Structure 1
Amino acid sequence: MVVFTTVGTQEQALDIAHHLVRSRLAACVNILPGVRSVFRWKGKVDDETEFLLMTKTVEANFEAVKDEIRKLHAYELPEILGYPVTFAEKAFAGWIVESSSGAGGDEEDDEGEEEPLERLSE
């Protein structure tokens, strides 16, 4: 699953990203700077430059990821959108599951050749 949110500062983006990865709620958070957002808020149209966070996690973590983002986010109504990942490269999908499960290690998978794509959901 990929969870998107936008924030107003690089500091907040880094705070959220580090928190989610350290707490094993996410395997990875990409931070894309310079995202231009045009939106209607409280009756007027705003035009802001933001940072987009793309969080890679498992579907079972969505509620916890959402809750943590809301706790750390400065916006009154943060964008928190979760999208299921239908397919992913097998090793990458396994890494996401291992890294965002709270129980992992760094052991390599010693199984034989496998399909290159795997459904990424639990």
Structure 2
Amino acid sequence: MPFVAGSKMDWVYPRFHKESLAQTLCRSGLFVICVGMVLTMSMFPMLRSLGVQLRSTLTGSYMPGHHSVLLINCPNEQIAKDIGRAIMERRMAASINFLPRTYTMYYWRGEIQESTEILMLVKTRTSKIERLTDYVKSVHPYETPELLTFPVEGGSLPYMKWMDEAVPDD
């Protein structure tokens, strides 16, 4: 029996095949889009770092925010040195400055407190800040350590390149 449009046999012929092909293509397209999004999100830090390096190389300029400074107060010099050395050994910072005996006044549990502390200025890549702050929280003696970060908006390009060499990008 020849195929006639509108006959009872419509459901057996090409329309069924075309619908399944369309469904298969739709599923494949969604799969490719999902895989593409996952790969892009997982590779974003590496792609951003490559973009920053490429931009810096081609234009001879610095991309603001690629580096940060982290402020950490410690109760004494020995604790500051211990935390600083551990940070440096883990290659989470390019350098750390220790400013001795800063005078601090702050509220703690409803009262004004006063003390002397050691202020650490930790220079690093912005991509390391989360890992760095998590580490400092785990070893710092204060219940609530001061951990303040500031993005670097500019500076000496050779110094910034040195920081990139000193602190590997994971």
Relative to the length of structure 2, the TM-score reads: 0.59
Please state which structure has a larger fraction of its residues in helix: 2
Secondary structure class of the residue paired with 2:117 = strand
Secondary structure class of the residue paired with 2:80 = helix
Secondary structure class of the residue paired with 1:29 = strand
Alignment correspondent of 1:29: 96
Q: How many pairs are equivalent?
A: 103
Output one character per residue of 1:100-121: Cα deviation in whole Å (capped at 9) or x when no partner.
1168xxxxxxxxxxxxxxxxxx
Q: What is the identity, as a one-letter code, of the residue corresponding to 1:89?
A: S
Give the alignment of 1:51-66 within 5 angstroms.
51-66=118-133
Distance 1:41 1:47 in 2: 10
- Output the aligned Cα RMSD: 1.1
Alignment correspondent of 2:115: 48
Distance 1:32 1:79 in 2: 15
* 1:87 equivalent in alignment to 2:154: yes
Distance 1:74 1:37 in 2: 17
Please state which structure has a larger fraction of its residues in strand: 1
Output one character per residue of 1:74-96: Cα deviation in whole Å (capped at 9) or x when no partner.
00000100100000201110111
5+ long unaligned stretches in structure 2? 1-67
Alignment correspondent of 1:5: 72
Higher relative contact order (CA 8 A, sep 6+): 1
Secondary structure class of the residue paired with 1:88 = coil
Are the counterparts in 2 of residues 24 and 102 from structure 1 also a CA contact under 8 Å? no
Pairwise CA distance, 1:27: 0.5
Mark the structure with the bigger radius of gyration.
Answer: 2
* 1:15 equivalent in alignment to 2:69: no
Relative to the length of structure 1, the TM-score reads: 0.81
Alignment correspondent of 2:60: none
5+ long unaligned stretches in structure 1? 104-122
